Amino acid sequence: MADYYELLGVSRNASSEEIKRAYRSLALKYHPDRNKEPGAQERFAQINTAYAALSDPERRAHYDRFGEEPSGATGFGNGATDPFDLFESLFGGSLFGRQSGRGRAKGEDLEVDAEITLEQARAGAEIHVQVDRLARCSRCGGKRSDPEGRPNQPCPTCHGSGVVQFQQRTILGNIVSQQVCGTCRGEGTLVIDPCRACHGRGTVLTQEDVAVQLPRGIDAGYRIRVPGRGNEGPGGSGDLYVRLSVVPHPSLQRENEHLIYVAELGVAQAALGTSLEVPTLDGPQRVEIKAGTQPGDQVRLRGQGMPRLQGIGSGDLIVVCKVRIPSPKQLDKEAREHLQAYAAAMGEAVSEPHPGFFERLGKTLRGES
């Protein structure tokens, strides 16, 4: 491990208060609940080890003299079991939601995926998802002991409190701290006769149908939190998070609160105007395309898009015009002649059509050039 003073970024003659300030700044920076970068947790542990040694006058004196800690010295201070214990005992508990030794941990959060349609997202429909979760055992009610057996007994180590106290020597003097009791794991009681249904775990694995209410205008990529539908734990249930994806619509594309429909027009339709049937989420609707429409021109159907998720009203359905140019193979002789006549009337120069194979063969047989 690197030099303790270098880890904390202080000089070897730094005061206790300077060491504490440096530790606090670095511990907050590298705390794994805040810093998710690789190596942050290891760095956090190293910082705590350095501070535990340099904040203890005897351990610091030994380290200054020999470059190492005394034999048998604990890494995170007297009685501490991990770096979080030292951090929480000095700074008043978790700053980022970590379960402290005084509380009973809630169950784990769960996450499931759900596919929805554009229509469901627009309406804010209620959907249902199937969730495999640890639920409270119905036989023992989560108490872990069998109803027909002997009741749970108070833990002899913590006397039913679920926590044990220990003294820790710091620069501020002796501080009394708490941590979860290792005998009962914070439960405060010991099971004598385990429940026959859950085998003393207090929970059973079940599959549940969970109703999820969609906000109007929700889009793919969002997560919806359903409180209390995660796994059951000693301190209550965790939460369920439903991650959404949207099934592609056969005709419409979504861009934020707007819906896009690409309408293909022929050359004559774009030039002379036409009437098209456009699909909307409320059913087909006739839309007038004015004469002289150019590629990329748009027609807006106001308010027929998606509801604004965090605002008022709805977006638009935008009809984007795409002019379809026929290929030479799609033009018969009459259609080609009409286009050539149009080009002549408009003064547009066009290429002469290339004769086909049989037309060239006929000219050759007839001796024509």
Residue 183 · residue 161 · CB < 8 Å? no
**Mean pLDDT on 149-177:** 81
Mean pLDDT of the chain: 83
List Cβ neighbours of 343 (8 Å cut-off, separation of 6 or more).
Answer: 349, 350
**Domain-by-domain residue ranges, the chain?**
4-90, 103-145+197-247, 153-190, 253-325, 336-365
> For residue 184, is pLDDT > 90?
no
More confident residue, 175 or 53: 53
CA distance 208 to 363: 80
Please, is 168 exposed, middle or buried when counting C-beta atoms within 10 Å of its C-beta (0-12, 13-18, 19+)? buried
CA distances from 19 to 108, 205, 317, 332 (A): 37, 49, 62, 89
More confident residue, 180 or 127: 127
**Mean pLDDT on 307-332:** 89
CATH classification number, 4-90, choose in 1.10.287.110, 1.10.357.10, 1.20.210.10, 1.20.1540.10: 1.10.287.110
**Taking the CA atoms of the chain, what radius of gyration do you get in angstroms?**
37
The confidence band for 182, taking pLDDT boundaries of 50, 70 and 90, is confident
CATH 2.60.260.20 given to domain 253-325:
yes
Residue 310 · residue 256 · CB < 8 Å? no
CA distance 114 to 117: 10
CATH 2.50.20.10 given to domain 103-145+197-247:
no
More confident residue, 49 or 99: 49
| pLDDT tens digits for range 74-110 | 544 444 445 555 554 555 433 343 344 445 678 889 9
| pLDDT tens digits for range 225-259 | 999 999 998 778 999 999 999 999 999 999 999 99
pTM for this model (two decimals):
0.59
